[in-house]
Amino acid sequence: QGQLVQSGAEVKKPGASVKVSCKASGYTFTNYGIDWVRQAPGQGLEWMGWISTYKGDTKVAQKLQGRVTMTRDTSTDTAYLEVRSLRPDDTAVYYCARDAEGFDPWGQGTLVTVSS
């Protein structure tokens, strides 16, 4: 089973940074990686990257490298996604998901709005 609960909605100005949290419960956090996926309004799903909750290794989608950092805190079973130098086209719902066989479960999503 398991559950992922994300932090609340954010409104940021272009050029700012945002950090989204994803707290896991109901399973052993370090047994599964966490993926981050975003969905722009009315659009499809874009995989952003993955973090090993055990070692902290990451894989980040090439188009986001240099702007995205994924971390985790095993003392609180929480994963974090930081996006820097935000642009209006970063406006999206950001999801975390447990990397099991497929992505399951998903967090409820965090809306990040980038607007001046």
Partner 1 sequence: DIVLTQSPATLSLSPGERANLSCRTSQTISSSYFAWYQQKPGQPPRLLMYGAFNRATGIPDRFSGSGSRTDFTLTINSLEPEDCAVYFCQQYGFSPYTFGQGTKVEI
First-last CA distance in the chain: 40
Nearest to partner 1 of 2, 12 (CB atom): 2
Q: β-pairing, 46-51 with 110-114?
A: unpaired
Please report, for the chain, how many H helices and E strands are present, in that order: 0, 11
107 touches partner 1 by CB under 8 A: yes
Distance, in Å, from the CA atom of 43 to the CA atom of 67, rounded to the nearest integer, reads 21
Least distance CB 75 / partner 1 (angstroms): 26
33 near 51, Cβ under 8 Å? yes
Least distance CB 46 / partner 1 (angstroms): 7
Positions 14 through 53 that interact with partner 1 (CB under 8 A): 35, 37, 44-47, 50
Q: Binding string to partner 1 for residues 79 to 98, with x set by CB under 8 A, is what?
A: ----------------x-x-
Q: Kindly list the residues in this chain that would bind partner 1 in the complex (CB under 8 A).
A: 35, 37, 44-47, 50, 59, 61-62, 95, 97, 99, 101-109
